[in-house]
Amino acid sequence: MAKQKKAPRPKAIPPKGFRDYFGSEVTERSHMLSQIAEVYHRYGFDALESSAVETVEALGKFLPDVDRPNEGVFAWEEEDSGWVALRYDMTAPLARVYAQHRNDLPTPYRRYAMGPVWRNEKVGPGRFRQFYQCDADTVGTASMAADAEICAMLADTLEAVGIDRGDYIVRVNNRKVLNGVLEVAGLSGDDKEEERGIVLRAIDKLDRLGVEGVRALLGEGRKDESGDFTKGAGLDDLQADIVIGFMEAGAATGAETVANLRNLVAGSSVGEDGVAELEQIADLLAAQGYGPDRIIIDPSVVRGLGYYTGPVYEAELTFEVKDEKGRPRNFGSVAGGGRYDDLVKRFTGQAVPATGVSIGVDRLLAALRMKGRIKSDAQGPVVVTVMDRDRMADYQAMVGELRQAGIRAEVYLGNPKNFGNQLKYADARQSPIAIIEGGDEKANGIVQIKDLILGAKLAQDATLEEWKARPSQIEAPRADLVAAVKKMLADQDADT
Amino acid sequence: MAKQKKAPRPKAIPPKGFRDYFGSEVTERSHMLSQIAEVYHRYGFDALESSAVETVEALGKFLPDVDRPNEGVFAWEEEDSGWVALRYDMTAPLARVYAQHRNDLPTPYRRYAMGPVWRNEKVGPGRFRQFYQCDADTVGTASMAADAEICAMLADTLEAVGIDRGDYIVRVNNRKVLNGVLEVAGLSGDDKEEERGIVLRAIDKLDRLGVEGVRALLGEGRKDESGDFTKGAGLDDLQADIVIGFMEAGAATGAETVANLRNLVAGSSVGEDGVAELEQIADLLAAQGYGPDRIIIDPSVVRGLGYYTGPVYEAELTFEVKDEKGRPRNFGSVAGGGRYDDLVKRFTGQAVPATGVSIGVDRLLAALRMKGRIKSDAQGPVVVTVMDRDRMADYQAMVGELRQAGIRAEVYLGNPKNFGNQLKYADARQSPIAIIEGGDEKANGIVQIKDLILGAKLAQDATLEEWKARPSQIEAPRADLVAAVKKMLADQDADT
């Protein structure tokens, strides 16, 4: 590290859009990811950790022939590799890895991946440029059993991390059905791309706008509450009826929904293919006991990404939260995915069918926190205070014994002069217990054990009787330190 | 993902110096890191995950006023943040985080961090540009108890992950002692920087060159086996004796070593400070029972990094391995660190003392693999084969039951036409068991359960008796599938 010669002091901030995660923010996420990994592993998926940096050409979103790649990724030029970038998702790297190692990997290849991805996008409240994703994909099989399996695994995963059955729903649709519906509605021509885009976006807004709002967008257009006008797709009533019929084709069981869809796409071969695929998925899931309380066929699922070619699916958390204006709404989507049969082909020229899901780690973690399902290990350490700085070895011996017994513990390492500062430190550390051994205690072979949690509680709202009934500080023989601390921790646990 | 219009196919390779990690490579590292985190946590250290991207000025190694930062990091320019770079270690980001959040963090702040770092350096065999580090640091205290604690924690950590006592040693030294020795040897002047550099590098080579080799480098210089000449520091015999005396000051106990060093640096105030610090550390460790079988004071420890200001320490694995030429040598260093009191000051102007250690994750993992201390979870899944593709739901139901029982299991999702391919797949997956249910079995309510591990063993070297004694394939009622698989897995476990 070169010396800074009178250079101005650097600013102590991360780059715009980046943040740091502290203590339980890190360990809670890590715990959730290991629960997820356990489910994925049981389903036969293998871990993969690909490099964080990829060549821009392998990521495929950007053309390397411009001086500076488009925004969206963090990219730069390296002498020996050309333009490289931080991965923006886990799917593009998987396609590269599979194309590179396909002769050594089993086929089909089931893999999971978890880690940070980076997006060079606009920053907003709660929107950061580095965030976690957790993906599972099956590469190398066109079987609908692979899609059904991932939907089932997604449901199992949500329950494994602590989302109750009834608080989530996995919705499944199929791009081909959608394409079939558009064909039947006369919107399949190359000249209809703009209309198709408007229709997809309109379907995606069903939740928010209701059927009549969507119908307006399918027709001439719609004026919103603020008076802004959104141009519609210009469909006539018959065409709009077909699209609306599609959106409303969802029924109580997968079999009924499939029957409704089959009627709608009659005559479109791509549509009929799509319905047959949905039917296979519905049958497989029904046979495995994944009922409509967990997974449903839902024609309103669109999913944004352009590369999906067949089944698409997403997991929504259905319990209610308040939005920023205090209005109730569903928590919303925490995972999504689908079948993308063309990503590996970019590299190899051969079609390699694949399907997979990505969990939004931060959103799922936020949901678990909201539901009180995070068992936090945030408890601070037992703090051994320093009454006599020349006896640091004595205090170190105490924490040594406590740690040996599996108890999180530390010696106060700041300036010990002011004892109040030591207790303030213990407070900042959320310590449950402080240990005190001054000269008198040492001479008498005892230690003081201070119950900081009870102390805080008593300080707040205790009656005189409570004060007397249970002292927040006890004396114990030095030799009984570990046993006494263990007992106090157990009492605290029992209280909460 | 934009469509590639007749663009040449992208190459399916990561950028130069990057690689992918598969299956157990990922999970074994993850398991080791969680064992380490558990020890750190018990010592009162809190997790921190800082952003992977930092401003170049915050990282501090490079000046932002050049058009393109020096090599060594991966850096690029962002419109809204200026020059940014991937972190090259965990210490520079910690200094930034502490400077930024110091009013909200406890003081002292004990934190650990684990994750990838990136270095834009020359690539070689086993040298990659992205690798893991695992650090623990205490910021905000000048107390030697913090340094002693980290040395003790390092010893505990190595034992926790599976390095036996006797197979490692933590060595502690102090930069101030070294500076004192150089002062006593008349090498403290500003005009002696080159000589000091040569002396430090010479000390660092003691292991490899022996005392006489180092003495040559301290004097006129040394010709190595290949005939290449390395220029020496030009010290006279008296000066060289002082340095050699320093290197050989290590004794059976910390107290003796400290006494030897005190004699050597007599008259140098910085040297005497350093000896006093070493003495404190030695006393604290001795009081806590960390004897010289685990931690020793070792004057030959230099540590490369320029920013260390006091104690320096490293952990070496002492068991023997063969080098690339088959010669025996110690496994070597797997962790190192020390006290760096000036890193936070760059940001705040105020001195903030700090000390910490970094574990080389990949090297420690390699050592554990060598010692057979990795409990691999690499066992493949039970593979349910597909005899009749129309009964996929039946096969899915089987894996569902197996997974419910906690058994890793999957259905074969490739093209089921060729049964041989299914068994080849099971082999590639390292499956312990394959399940077979054809039409006849279905009709009779049974399944075939094939012991692939026993099968492989029998195929290799079984006698006829063994073949008969224990069939590698059994029949079980369909209803007993889970119980029969469990029993077979247990039998396999017992065999190994």
**Per-residue model confidence as pLDDT tens digits over A263-318:** 999 999 999 999 999 999 999 998 889 999 999 999 888 766 567 889 999 999 99
Of A13, A16, A146, the CB nearest to B413: A146
Confidence (pLDDT) at B6 = 61
ipTM rounded to 2 decimals: 0.89
Per-residue pLDDT at A47 exceeds 50: yes
CB contact under 8 A, B429 and A44: yes
Rounded to the nearest integer, the mean pLDDT of chain A is 89
Best of A43, A51, A149 to disrupt the B interface (most B CBs within 10 Å) is: A51
- To which CATH superfamily is domain B382-495 assigned? Anticodon-binding domain (3.40.50.800)
CB–CB contact B396 A63 (8 Å):
no
Cis amide leading into A108 (omega within 30): yes
Pairs of residues, one from chain A and one from chain B, whose beta carbons lie less than 8 Å apart: 315
Q: Does A443 touch chain B (CB under 8 A)?
A: no
Burial (CB count within 10 angstroms: exposed 0-12, middle 13-18, buried 19+), residue A241: middle
The answer to whether residue B480 neighbours chain A at the CB level (below 8 Å) is no
Give the closest-approach CA distance of A392 to chain B in angstroms: 7
Contact B101 A284 (CB under 8 A): no
* Chain A contact present for B405, CB below 8 A: no
Contacts of B348 in chain A (CB under 8 A): 9, 12
With a cut of 70, say whether residue A64 has pLDDT above it.
no
Q: What is the pLDDT of residues A323-335, one digit of tens each?
A: 778 888 889 999 9
Q: Are B209 and B218 in contact (CB under 8 A)?
A: no
Decide which of A126 and B233 is more confident. B233
Q: Tell whether A404 lies on the interface with B, counting CB pairs under 8 A.
A: no
Interchain pair B106, A61: CB under 8 A: no
Region A206-228 average pLDDT: 88
Rounded Cα gap, residues A391 and A426, in angstroms:
20
| CB contact A400 to B (< 8 Å) | yes
Is residue A481 within 8 angstroms of chain B, CB to CB? no
CA-wise closest residue to A222 among A207, A244, A247, A205? A205
Distance (Å, whole) CA B310 – CA A273: 72
- pLDDT in the model for residue A4: 47
**Whether A378 contacts chain B with CB within 8 A:** no
pLDDT of residue A142: 94
Q: Which residues of chain B have pLDDT under 50?
A: 1-4, 62-69
Residues of chain A in contact with residue B21, where contact means CB-CB under 8 angstroms, are 47-50
**In the predicted model, what is the mean pLDDT of residues A25-40?**
95
Residue B27: closest C-alpha in chain A: A47
Our CA-based measurement puts residue B289 at a distance from the nearest CA of chain A, in whole angstroms, of 9
Overall fold of domain A24-370: BirA Bifunctional Protein; domain 2 (3.30.930)
Q: Largest Cα–Cα distance in chain A? A: 95
Q: Which residue of A has its CA nearest to B22?
A: A48
- Which pLDDT belongs to residue A377? 60
Range list for CATH 3.30.930.10 in chain A: 24-370
Q: What is the DSSP letter of B129?
A: S
Residues of A in contact with B46 (CB under 8 A): 22-23
- CB proximity A351 to B under 8 Å: no
pLDDT at B197: 84
Segments of chain A assigned to CATH 3.40.50.800:
382-495
User: At B84, which helix (H) or strand (E)?
Assistant: strand B82-86
Question: pLDDT by residue (tens digit) across A165-187?
Answer: 999 999 999 999 989 999 999 98
Which residues are within 8 A (CB) of A122 and not within 5 positions of it... i.e. 6 or more apart? Answer: none
- For residues A147 and A170, the answer to whether their CB atoms sit within 8 Å is no
d(CA A393, CA A456): 30
Task: Say what the pTM is.
Answer: 0.90
Q: Shortest CB distance from A346 goes to which of B9, B20, B392?
A: B9
Cβ-in-10-Å burial (0-12, 13-18, 19+) of A186 comes to middle
Q: Which of A4, A16, A20 to mutate to test the interface with B (most CBs of B within 10 A)?
A: A20
Residue of A nearest to B101 (CA): A12
Q: Which residues 274-333 of A are in CB contact (within 8 Å) with B?
A: 283-284, 286-289, 305-307
- Residue A393 has its nearest CB partner, among B54, B97, B283, at B283
Question: Does A93 sit behind a cis peptide bond, omega within 30 degrees of 0 on the bond before it?
Answer: no
Nearest CB neighbour to B106, from listed A74, A149, A425: A425
Q: What pLDDT band is residue A216 in, cutting at 50, 70 and 90?
A: very high
Query: How far is B232 from B217, CA to CA, in rounded Å?
Result: 4
The Cα of A373 is separated from the nearest Cα of chain B by a number of Å equal to: 20
Q: Which residues of A touch B5 (CB under 8 A)?
A: none
B94 touches chain A (CB under 8 A): no
What is the pLDDT confidence band of residue A68, given thresholds at 50, 70 and 90?
very low
Cβ neighbours for B201, distance < 8 A, ≥ 6 positions apart: B217
More confident position, B163 or A253: B163
In this predicted structure, the answer to whether residue A1 has a pLDDT above a threshold of 60 is: no
User: Containing H/E element for B221?
Assistant: strand B221-223
- Picking from A46, A77, A280 by the largest number of B CB atoms within 10 A of its own CB, the best residue to mutate is A46
**Which one of B27, B143, B339, B389 makes the best mutation probe of the A interface by having the most chain A beta carbons within 10 Å?**
B143
Contact check, Cβ <8 Å, B20/A49: yes
Confidence of residue A61 (pLDDT cuts 50, 70, 90): low
Interface test with B, best of A19, A65, A76, A147 (most B CBs within 10 A): A76
Which residues in chain B are closer than 8 Å to A151, comparing Cβ atoms? none
Report yes or no: B464 at the A interface, CB cutoff 8 Å.
no
Q: CA–CA separation, A3 vs A35, rounded Å? A: 45
Answer yes or no: is pLDDT of A340 > 60.
yes
**Percent of chain A scored above 70 by pLDDT?**
93
Calculate mean pLDDT across residues A108-127: 91
Q: Can you tell me the mean pLDDT for A30-35?
A: 94
Cross-chain Cβ contact A146/B50 below 8 Å: no
* Beta strand B168-174 pairing with B295-297: parallel
Picking from B15, B49, B414, the nearest residue to A107 by CB comes out as B414
User: Cβ separation of A143 and B413 shorter than 8 Å?
Assistant: yes
The CA distance from B43 to A406, in Å, is: 10
Q: Tens of pLDDT along A401-452? A: 999 999 999 999 998 898 989 999 999 899 999 999 999 999 999 999 999 9
Asked which of A37-51, A198-212, B392-406 is least confident by mean pLDDT, the reply is A198-212
- Nearest-neighbour CA in chain B from A11: distance (Å): 6
**Residue B68 has what pLDDT?**
45
